[in-house]
A = this chain, B = another copy of it.
Amino acid sequence: MSNFSWEEFFRLPPEQKAPHFQRNGRPYHALIAQQFERPFLDRLCELATRTRRIAKTRGGRLFLQDLLSDKRAMLYFAQPSTRTFLSFYAACQIVGLQPAEVRDTNTSSELKGESPEDSVRTFSSYFDVIIMRHPVGGFAEKIAWMLSNTERTVPVINAGSGKDQHPTQALLDIYTLQRSFEERGGIEGKHVVFVGDLARGRTVRSLSWLLKLYPGVRQTFVAPAALQIGEDVLDSLRRAGVAFECTDDFEAAVPQADAIYMTRIQDEWDTAKESAALDTSRFKFTAAHLARLKPDAILMHPLPRRDEIAPACDADPRAMYWRQVRNGMWIRAALLLVIFDRDVEVDRYYEDLTR
């Protein structure tokens, strides 16, 4: 990407950016959900499952910890997110990557007048990978671009930037669907129902995009009109020939779903608190809905939740949101192994184990 100015690069469509985030045909940076292709998703899910199974024994855990034990990760969280932070932190620990953290929203250097780019370049000097969350959209990409113009490039993993991208959340959602439907023919042909704040949720946008890679998946978007999914997402589905529907009838959608993906009204993005005026009471999953959900459907939520899903649903085996949390840790561990090219050793260990 160093052949472009930053502005030129940033304006490229995702498909044209993606190759710049690869090295030797596999992700080097993980910056946008659109960079992931189907073979990679399948591979990453397989690797996450192998890692998870290997980790069931002390011997396996020590094996995994050894893999990246000579590397150091910087978790730079300029925007608070304890959940994502801890998930990455634990993922680093699983594969032995030694973590260091910056969780200040105002780092001291910026107080001294340093540019954010200089700050991150400095921090990157000490580490082998940067995992970063930042309030500004595109910031993680900008850092990857900037480092590609220096003598010392390191992989950049986007742990959420601005309103648009949180690619590892999309990966964990795919992994959860893949695990849940593993013995039912996979994700292909399933009906996924998205519910809630679809206008602003970057999670839904990314997952919708990736589901296009699975033939026969039907997508339904359930939201009040003001929070319905963007036309750009629908255009992209149309171009890909994906069957979809937009509705505000949650009750009708529940019994048809193979997966229900509930989301939270993201009013922390609001300045005027306009969402308070919206009636979202019809878009909540209650204990009563459990009876109308297919016996083999699953109920997902990226968390944190408010009252979109009643806690009384938590014990139902179809409630998958707590498992989603754990899946995030495993898929992130798998991603780190791929980025540092140590996944083949996991395969070898796993094959010995299952021989």
A→B interface (CB under 8 Å): 58, 61-62, 65, 69-70, 72, 74, 80-83, 86-87, 89-90, 93, 98, 100, 102, 104, 107-109, 111-114, 118-119, 121-123, 125-127, 149-152, 264, 268, 303-306, 314-315, 322, 325-326, 329
Q: What is the minimal beta-carbon distance from A310 to any residue of chain B, in angstroms?
A: 12
**Which residues of B are found within 8 Å of A62, using beta-carbon distances?**
69-70
Q: Given B80, B82, B83, B126, which contacts A87 in the complex, CB threshold below 8 Å? A: B126
* Distance, CA A69 to CA B58, complexed state (A): 9
Do B102 and A322 touch across chains, with their CB atoms under 8 A apart?
no
Q: Given B104, B112, B268, B314, which contacts A112 in the complex, CB threshold below 8 Å? A: B268
Q: What is the minimal beta-carbon distance from A52 to any residue of chain B, in angstroms?
A: 13
**Which residues of B are found within 8 Å of A305, using beta-carbon distances?**
114, 118
Do A70 and B58 touch across chains, with their CB atoms under 8 A apart?
yes
Copy number in the complex reads 3
Taking CB as reference atom, which chain B residue is nearest A113?
B306
* Distance, CA A81 to CA B127, complexed state (A): 17
Give 15 new A-B contacts, CB below 8 A, not counting A82-B102, A114-B305, A125-B325.
A58-B70, A61-B70, A72-B93, A80-B104, A80-B107, A81-B108, A82-B119, A82-B123, A83-B109, A93-B100, A112-B264, A113-B264, A122-B304, A150-B314, A151-B322
Q: What is the minimal beta-carbon distance from A332 to any residue of chain B, in angstroms?
A: 10
**Which residues of B are found within 8 Å of A80, using beta-carbon distances?**
104, 107-108, 111
* Distance, CA A111 to CA B83, complexed state (A): 12
Do B322 and A150 touch across chains, with their CB atoms under 8 A apart?
yes
Do A89 and B93 touch across chains, with their CB atoms under 8 A apart?
no
- Contact status of A82 and B100, CB under 8 A, knowing A61-B70, A126-B90: no
Do B81 and A304 touch across chains, with their CB atoms under 8 A apart?
no
Do B113 and A304 touch across chains, with their CB atoms under 8 A apart?
yes
Taking CB as reference atom, which chain B residue is nearest A72?
B93
* Distance, CA A150 to CA B322, complexed state (A): 10
**Which residues of B are found within 8 Å of A121, using beta-carbon distances?**
322
13 examples of A-B residue contacts, CB within 8 angstroms: A61-B70, A80-B104, A80-B107, A80-B108, A82-B107, A82-B119, A86-B122, A113-B264, A114-B305, A118-B304, A118-B305, A126-B329, A152-B322
Q: What is the minimal beta-carbon distance from A314 to any residue of chain B, in angstroms?
A: 8
Do B86 and A100 touch across chains, with their CB atoms under 8 A apart?
yes
* Distance, CA A324 to CA B240, complexed state (A): 51
**Which residues of B are found within 8 Å of A126, using beta-carbon distances?**
86-87, 89-90, 325-326, 329
Q: What is the minimal beta-carbon distance from A299 to any residue of chain B, in angstroms?
A: 15
**Which residues of B are found within 8 Å of A89, using beta-carbon distances?**
100, 126
**Which residues of B are found within 8 Å of A314, using beta-carbon distances?**
150
* Distance, CA A303 to CA B149, complexed state (A): 19
Q: Given B118, B149, B303, which contacts A114 in the complex, CB threshold below 8 Å? A: B303
